[in-house]
Amino acid sequence: MTPDLLTLLRQVDTPTVCNAIEVAEGKRGFDAFTRGTLLASAPEASAMVGYARTAKIAAVAPPSEPPEVIKARRMAYYKYMAEAPAPAVTVIEDLDYPNAIGAYWGEINTTVHKGFGISGALTNGVMRDLGDLPKGFPVVAGSIGPSHGFVHVREIDTPVEVFGLRIQPSDLVHADRHGAVVIPPEVMPRLQNAIKTLLETEKLVLEPARSQGFNFEEFSNAWARFEKART
């Protein structure tokens, strides 16, 4: 990923990236995106973009493994996150979903991950401490809650699933308040131009629609230009 593409991806929202992937692929049907409604800790924040660092957690029941095993895995998790090549996004599957209760993402954990240089967190689990989370580290989560429960790490660096989206370690993730997508590696060489093309063609309809005196005839002409530009 070039620096210019990374900058552009951080400037556009996830629906734009989702559409641009179809432009790059030359067809509709791209389906590597989350389903359902997620919650954003900072809805106004820019998108998080990065290669996935994955883990699985649970919190409803106490861990069944010995405490020294849980502690060692916890520290291995933080080492794994600290060594993530930039840009990176943490993706956590809460195995208790849809009955998740353990708020893994609070003020301390978000601040630690931001300190590691990670762009943000995507999870089907719980977040808390809203208003105290550090700026520049958005969390997109499944729910909000007050307790950490018996939260503990179960797996590190394994495939995860968040809201119907299967994510492999090192997949390129783009996420914001709308949800998340995994960007296919084969579209990367064309993605920057695809985003720019998409934004330019959308202006063919948006600019007339925002002008005074807009009517059906102007819409029909604008839509014809829009359709022509997309083919």
The 10s digit of each residue's pLDDT in 23-36 is 999 999 999 999 99
pLDDT at 231 over 70: no
pLDDT of residue 228: 85
Task: Report d(CA 23, CA 128) in Å as an integer.
Answer: 37
Alpha-carbon distances of 48 from 16, 104, 160, 208, rounded to whole Å: 14, 18, 18, 32
- Among candidate residues 113, 116, 139, 112, the one with its CA nearest the CA of residue 128: 139
Looking only at the bridges linking them, the beta strands covering 139-141 and 152-156 are unpaired
For residues 74-88, average pLDDT:
98
Class of CATH domain 31-183: alpha beta
Handedness of CA 112, 114, 117, 119 (dihedral sign): positive
Q: What percent of the chain clears pLDDT 90, i.e. is strictly above it?
A: 97
For residues 126-152, average pLDDT:
98
pLDDT of residue 230: 72
On average, the pLDDT of the chain sits at 96
For residues 44-66, average pLDDT:
97
Which regions of the chain carry the CATH code 3.50.30.40? 31-183
pLDDT at 142 over 80: yes
Write the DSSP symbol of residue 125: S
- Residue pair 138/120 in contact by the 8 Å Cβ criterion: yes
pLDDT of residue 173: 98
pLDDT of residue 165: 98
Write the DSSP symbol of residue 33: B
pLDDT of residue 51: 98
168 token code pair: 């492999």
Looking only at the bridges linking them, the beta strands covering 48-58 and 172-176 are antiparallel
CB under 8 Å to 127, separation ≥6 — which residues?
A: 39, 41, 103, 104, 105, 106, 133, 139, 141, 143, 144, 145
pLDDT of residue 229: 82
